[in-house]
Amino acid sequence: MRIQRVPTFITTPLRLCAKTVFAMNTIIQKPRKIITKLFPENGRFPNAGKRSLVIYDQVLKLPGHNAPDFIEAQVKANGWGHCWRWGLYDYHHYHSTAHECLCIYSGSVRVQFGGPGGWMVDAYPGDVILLPAGLTHKNVRCSLGFRTVGCYPQGQSPDMMVGKAGERPAADRNIAAVPLPKQDPIFGKSGELSNHWK
């Protein structure tokens, strides 16, 4: 599989027109289910210890046009930013300096979590994946039109770790020092993160 080129990380100013504000209140719906899973360390991949992967299944009711704009407005209103729009790298990697949120808005993707031999999930438009710092993930395969909005808690910026010799134990110290987000990127203060990330 061809490695996707590096996404450009651009933080755009938040401009809320009346249409966007309305959409922020209507693109969120009760998820069909909430999936959580813990991952132990896997050799050179530390994973996230007691902080679990959280997936909101079909939580976004996406508009027919400009879905990424509405997603970005939603997460920025809840204190997440540094947004980008692209795909997902097709090799095992993790971030030791930031938590990450992926909001699928186009196509589909099979993601493997936890490193080699890890757990796989198929994600579709409307799904939201919340990854604690350190959790390894990889694009196993995706449709041609797969796209996601990625974002991080305010004040956090991701590094790129790929399980090379020498990354640990510095990466472990970084992961332990990453502060918890103040709010869930989708539901704000009423979200599930406070129950699973401590």
Domain residue limits, the chain:
18-179
Rg (CA), the chain: 16
pLDDT one-digit tens code per residue, 160-182: 999 999 999 999 999 999 999 99
Percentage above 70 pLDDT, the chain: 87
pLDDT one-digit tens code per residue, 8-65: 333 333 343 334 333 445 799 999 999 999 999 999 999 998 999 999 999 999 988 8
pLDDT one-digit tens code per residue, 74-87: 999 999 999 999 99
Note the pLDDT of residue 137: 98
Dihedral of alpha carbons 56, 57, 59, 61, sign: positive
* CATH 3.30.450.70, applies to 18-179: no
In the sheet where 119-123 sits, what is the strand order? Answer: 119-123, 109-113, 137-142
Q: How far apart are CA 23 and CA 156, in angstroms?
A: 26
